[in-house]
Structure 1
Amino acid sequence: MKEYKIVSPKLGWKNRTQKYEDLLNQNAREGWVVHSIFQNTGGILFERDKNR
């Protein structure tokens, strides 16, 4: 079974790319994998196995 979460990053204007990378890396350490990125809202849909 899978579980999902949606994150709407608040990146600001300074170090935007670094903050985005840090957000992705933090979620990857928690076992999340990027499933989709929504262009219109900038939201990120993460997925992982629920019984891991």
Structure 2
Amino acid sequence: MKEYKVVSWKAGLTKNNQKLEDTLNQYARDGWVVKHIAEQYPRIVFERDKNR
């Protein structure tokens, strides 16, 4: 079974790429995989196995 997490992303003016990279890496360390990054609404959808 899968579980999902939706994270709202606030684009800032400074160090935006580094903040995004840090966020993605942190969730990856916790076993989450990016399934979708919305363009119009800054949201990232992550997925992982619930019984991991």
TM-score (norm 1): 0.93
**Is 1:38 aligned to residue 38 of structure 2?**
yes
Deviations 1:2-44 (A, max 9, x none): 0001001224211000000000000000000000111110200
The percentage of aligned residue pairs carrying the same residue is: 60
Letter in 1 for 2:9: P
Q: CA RMSD in A?
A: 0.8
5+ unaligned residues in a row in structure 2: which ranges?
none
Letter in 2 for 1:15: K
Runs of 4+ in 1 over 4 A off after TM superposition: none
8 Å Cα contact 1:11-1:19 kept in structure 2? no
Matches within 5 A, 1:1-52: 1-52=1-52
Query: Cα distance 1:39–1:11, how it changes in 2: closer, same or farther (>3 A)?
Result: closer
TM-score (norm 2): 0.93
